[in-house]
Amino acid sequence: NAGVTQTPKFRVLKTGQSMTLLCAQDMNHEYMYWYRQDPGMGLRLIHYSVGEGTTAKGEVPDGYNVSRLKKQNFLLGLESAAPSQTSVYFCASRPSLRANYGYTFGSGTRLTVV
Amino acid sequence: GIQVEQSPPDLILQEGANSTLRCNFSDSVNNLQWFHQNPWGQLINLFYIPSGTKQNGRLSATTVATERYSLLYISSSQTTDSGVYFCAPNTGGFKTIFGAGTRLFVKA
């Protein structure tokens, strides 16, 4: 089925380790986003991309890097994980800003940093 | 930046009851979305509603942009409606801000 796929679904890291979260969409969407969700809170935007080869900072970008080398993939990297980055990470995509419909979300990645 | 306030923060309903969830926002918006996050964490887009009223089955939403609020109506609630409902306005550009959500539990 078409949609947004996130890998991995779960991960435990030790403080200081690095990892990359992968988001893949097969809907030919232009815009892609990475959010984090902490307990009892809404989603906060980490980084986003408006097209292949472009990225921009969101509300909480510190400690993360992103890349969008291919239109269908949006990667989120943690270079040196910290306990404060324990969260659930969601990727989302949408076709364009003018489209009369909104986001499609992935199922999330639950990350624990110990 | 824009402030988003959702009320009530928590809501418990008996199956079959109706409810209204409210979203207030502090700035003019270009568009607004409502999402449902089910108990397994999956986020589903319910409505894309910059203004006016839309209906989808037992759910409907109304946004009054000039008065800076949006309402989500749930009629004849079912246990599968349980979860968290998020309001997410966009003030322009590529950023969409999420409210803290209304946590709904529907009892059988």
Alpha-carbon distance of B13 to B15, in angstroms, equals: 6
What's residue A98's pLDDT? 63
Q: List the single best residue of B35, B49, B94 to mutate versus A (max A Cβ within 10 A).
A: B94
Q: List the single best residue of B97, B98, B102 to mutate versus A (max A Cβ within 10 A).
A: B98
What's residue A97's pLDDT? 66
State pLDDT tens for residues A11-23: 999 999 999 999 9
Can you tell me which residue has the tokens 């926002």? B25
Is residue A5 within 8 A of residue A74, CB to CB? The reply is no
Alpha-carbon distance of B22 to B9, in angstroms, equals: 10
State pLDDT tens for residues A32-72: 999 999 987 889 999 999 999 999 999 899 999 999 999 99
Q: How far is A88 from chain B (nearest CA, A)?
A: 9
pLDDT tens, N- to C-terminus, chain B (108 residues): 789 999 999 999 999 999 999 999 999 888 899 999 999 999 999 999 989 999 999 999 999 999 999 999 999 999 999 999 999 998 877 778 899 999 999 999
Q: How far is A100 from chain B (nearest CA, A)?
A: 7
